[in-house]
Structure 1
């Protein structure tokens, strides 16, 4: 295994794990923002309190995933600095600005708005507090947009000229309107909706099956199931629509994915005429994750709505209804698997290029020794794996605790002590009961 192979493997590992954090963050923040808006628009005090309780529960899970996702993003940034100096030297004038804007948006604006929102329950006016979560959502998607601007350029370089061995922007409008960027954004919007929807449905179904807070989780079971189904439909439609443009800027990848071997041979011949003899086609195994991604999308489209039908009726779930509730939990692992398959299809599909037709992966890596590359690969893999395990563990713990045991469940963010009256969840300031004080709910 060469330095290039290690660099590829390292990027694949870190980017894949970080992308899963980002995907759940994007999906959940939209859900929480919509929940809070519905709560704010409700005039019935009891219904408003119930809806804000849902905001606290799902918002607490969102905060956990966001916090750990930030750390995984830092690891991703360090990797660029360590291993990909060749990309910076040649394409830094183009990819540097969008990544700098993304860092400002993600690490400053988004984090600031989220902090104000998380600590702002019962401290800020209700409308101001609701605006904050929408600002968090807006900056989250703005962050994703700027990252996809870079990725879109790597897939289909536009709006630049090579001068003295370095690329310089000649048309920022072309860079920002790159079809490789916008098609991917639309596809990702559908994919993150699938993940968020299945997550909502699975957690809700778990509690309903056990007769816990049935009325609390009944709406989110329906909302999550329908969101996942709609997201799958969007992802499938956009995915098939992307094949037309793909044929123009990555014909070899198009030929492999569609099985049109003549297109692959034509693309190889054209690449050899421009760049000399070499292996200019991506590996044929990308058809595997591509096909699996499509199968997952179709399965979610056909089955994702079924758990919603189990929301009708009260009392203990009947056997038939229990199976539909179990289906929500069964479908959940398909979402991250589909996201990984989609990422592999997109990124490995442009090999051996880092920037299609302009800069190979071998040219993009820095002057790093084999031992140094292996050391950094092991270090980053350990860090990202630990973060992923911690994230899943915390999400599972707080999701299973229910609405009164979530991170933002009480009127104040931090408990006075760790006592659990009657075997329940910790009581915090503002929660009432032993160790807590009642604070009027501003919602």
Structure 2
């Protein structure tokens, strides 16, 4: 038996322990593991070859999840024999989404096996009655050893297997505690083999670390077919489902859900939801962002106030704080808003949505300028554009698609970078902006 140390982040292996992984540079990620002797396999028969061009090009058969938003992210539903890994922060709604999916699939006369290593049958039944008062043929198994799960699959042949969570399941042949590198890797490998052989779609719930990445070895994400993350502010009722890996679909689609007393519900028109109850007060500006290939119209709110301390405070919800500080510096230097050096600045994306792309820069800058001047921007006005360090407004991708969505939502005036739209739609006024100075001019004109 040989002792090695494996990095839980990148799966690199080392003969000696150290505080820092020499491969990926992470600290405190080396975990002890033991390797047994490699058994030689003599007289192994050669495998049978298949000519790919001779196979019929038939579309994949998919099993719908019962949620249009979940199906959108998966690419149309679960593919039989595939492994889907669902991750997210504690309390974000992973188990709720998994249980709802199991209920919806069972309601379509498909056999579903729900395996839990964290909750008892009574606890899961209590949550199920809250989500779906009317019962369905949903089979439950409280087990933590994979051998029992595999034997149950072989006996009952479910169409969908749900495991909550993958870190609680163990294999007798593998070393280590539940959730360790060896256990998670062995469980995933055996589940993959069983799913391919029995054509069972498998939805596995996975824990995430404090850094927001999936707990366990990196090999876990490589083994599965699809990796999706459920994200959102726990204090907000809205959740986003994103795919970071999808062998049977695109990773450019995003699902939107709303958490209610009855569980997670699809949000078919997220833009109208995020723009609901908006007003014309100072510091509020509308813009449009793309989450993958899906357009969302959102409200950006900014509030400025004289600082009571030596160093002004900057706070951001839904916007990268470093990006906010950069935009404040550009406004101070390039747009002449010197007063920002002595003012606290708070920025918020309404609805708890976290925005990553930089097309929101112009809206954030205009919202800050509007708050400083205490002059509102009309609610029918939207702004799109990235801001450079020189104060210039830069182009963003898919601008015509963004404009078309804003027109559909009823906006009458859109400010965007110069010469970016070739086909100008009717019923809306498109205004060119070249720099942050043009943005501050809007606050004087409003």
**TM-score, L = length of structure 2:** 0.20
Greater strand fraction, Structure 1 or Structure 2: 2
Larger gyration radius, structure 1 or structure 2: 2
Bigger RCO of structures 1 and 2 (CA < 8 A, at least 6 apart): 1
Q: In proportion to residue count, which structure has more helix? A: 1
TM-score by length of 1: 0.20
